[in-house]
Structure 1
Amino acid sequence: MKKNRWLIALSAVAIHLSIGGAYAYSVYKNPIATELGWEASQITIAFTIMMGLAGFSAALFGGIVEKLGPRKAAMVAAVLFGLGQGGAGLAISMDSVVLYWLTYGLLSGLGMGIGYISPVSTLVKWFPNKRGLATGMAVLGFGSGALITAPVAVFLMESVGIANTYFILGISYFTFMILGALYIAPPKPGDVEESIATGNKKPQEIAQLSAREAVRTKHFWMLWGMHLINVTSGLMMISVASPMAQEIVGLSVASAATMVGLMGLFNGGGRLIWAAASDYIGRSNVFVIFFAIQLIAFLTLPFTTNVIIFQLFIFLVVSCYGGGFSNLPAFASDLFGTKQLGVIHGYLLTTWSLGGIFGPIIVSAIKEATNSYIPVFYVFSFLIAISFGISLLLRSDVNKLKKQQAIEREKSKADKKTPVHS
């Protein structure tokens, strides 16, 4: 039976919405601390473990995901993530912070990393003419998962307690991920030709490389470096947005909380909008725009006293952060093909874990040393300027390679038309 590619996309969204629910961890912190007396730092360690493992497990298990295929890999992710979230309920019942680290942290982190990359390369193959839109839809689900989980978790904790909340959510995540896994599959020959014929032309890949070949190219490390700085900047902003806005422009606590909620919308919306736009203006151009916007933002924010303008710049930075994640696999497929996209994407996602470490550490260190957030903007302006330069070089390389390929294709066509004389 021929599968519907939009249902494939919906299956990917179901998987990403589930694992994205882990971003709602902050709603558990106060209830756990109040009920069990755990230190805030002990609770946060579980999230740190999970996020650190998510990026590195994507890289570590990328090859296995490619061998298993998206369906089996997503099933493995469903088991690990479901056990991690449900097991957290057991840890709460037993009042064991170590078990909480092993379940919510370790198991959920492994499940998140495998679940994140499982559908992406498949979606790229189903939507060869709309790669940005396809990956944007899935990653939008990941970015929006916390928006759904947070209010549900709060309601459940008030109704049935913390442990039962984890049990219910663990079972729910497992169910949604399994349902997505059961339908998702790579396209068979002929499945996507009709959509290509009626839609945009299939983009020309610069090369078809294995993961081992890709990491030996300068383009891989240019993309890796750009994304690392983009993630570090975004997570820095996300980690201190509320106190930063209160200090610099005098935003009230309530207004800062509202701003943080809106940041979630720009994070999620940026993933879809920037990715869809990249199908028309090109991935290399989108990354140039990302860093141009952020460079202007970080150089302007120290002098901004207007509350609305200050928040607008923060929203733009966060949208670029989200857009980087959705454009990353599509850009990788343009540069290196879809031969081992899952593995290559996994390697690139090590920036996710590193950025999660560097961003909050850098901003905290600067704040402690200077007792101000203002120097943070200058440090990140320098980093963003480096990425802006890399993005311009990468765009230049991509354009040259595409022109060279176009010339070679025209020459090949001309050679085929030339009559052969005996």
Structure 2
Amino acid sequence: MTVAAFTAVVTLGTLTLMLPDASAGGEETGVVTALFTAVSAVCVTGLIVVDTAAHWSTAGQWVILGLIQIGGVGVMTLASVLIIAVRHRIRLKLQLSVGVESKAVTLSEVRRVIFGIIWFSLLFETVTAAALTARFLVGYGYAPGRALYHGVFHAVSAFNNAGFALYSDSLMGFATDPWIILPIALAVIAGGLGFPVWIEIRRRREPGPRRRWSLHARITLSVTAVLLVVGTVLVTALEWTNPRTLGPMDTGDRLLSGFFHSAMPRTAGFNSLDVGGFQTQTLFVTDMLMFVGGGSAGTAGGIKVTTFALLAFVIYANVRGEPTVHVGDRRLSAGVEQQALVVALLAVGLVFVSTLVLMTITPFTLDQILFEVISAFATVGLSTGITADIPVAGQLILCLLMFIGRIGPITLATALALRRRARRIEYPEERPTVG
């Protein structure tokens, strides 16, 4: 059902973007270009093969914005409902048939989640749009209608971690403007944390005894903060003297741009600096940040910060020779460890194979192709500028990566959590040499 729903939206978006009215020149857009744009929008990635500002008409841009909203809210809704299903350890069919008697998820609970996500999304998007509209209106002299349109478009694109922009150079023209850069960065971070974390934050502000932070919220908030700080330090340090990026800026603007490019791999895809001008080391750091991504049940992609953190705890426990894995005052189940391992290894395998194929059919270097592949799989949208020059076969591979990256980890992790089979026969145990 998940794959079918996303496929239907992508198909509808592709057909709509192929219409002459969707292009600025009034001509029909090719099927591959329309498909790539639709997949990138629905999967809230931001990779493009044509200039969003120049190629698409206002109607086409509205279609893209609608696809972004559907994709972002749809992913949060899907992931949040699946998290509920995992917690109750019961399939949807059983939930609807037996209801409260087995403590299953009720329709009213699902309805509250859906409406909560919609309200949550609109709140952040409205606040961000208001800040951006005011800045476009006062700081850049935009007409009210244009200021509102640009404010709304970039607010929706930022909160949903889509990375689509109405400027040919993304946000490079606003690199030193904190009134544009910071609202967009904060919206990206907010969307990337995930709906369950924001629910806990809201509940802690309610009167009465404070509830205990869940392990999921603690991991998401702490790892997100660490990655933001580490990313800011590394990007700023590596690009400090680069004449193509931070070199010409003063200290304050360098720190602002460094922070922005640490937040974008969460996975938004906006850029205020020329990514193609980054040092190879900076591209590699960005690869790692993109691969990890953001929080579960949010608009970010990647393997998710919880998966990354759980694997780190598993490694730490095994190095210390401990029989079980503990995080704080909680013990991880073996099932959770297996889920994290499977999701991470499948992601690595998919990135490796896709990189190898693209290296075979394109003339680009390894660092460029690896960056593009991880950006597509992690639904980031950052690029060194080679997307439009990749042959059609390569663009279709990127489409598949975006699609799998958007729904794959969610559906895979849920399937692993819900699917438990007891073996009827167990064979004698043996321990092969490891390492």
> Is TM > 0.5 for Structure 1 vs Structure 2?
no
Higher helix share: 1
TM-score, L = length of structure 1? 0.29
TM-score, L = length of structure 2? 0.28
Q: Highest relative contact order (Cα 8 Å, sep 6+), 1 or 2?
A: 1
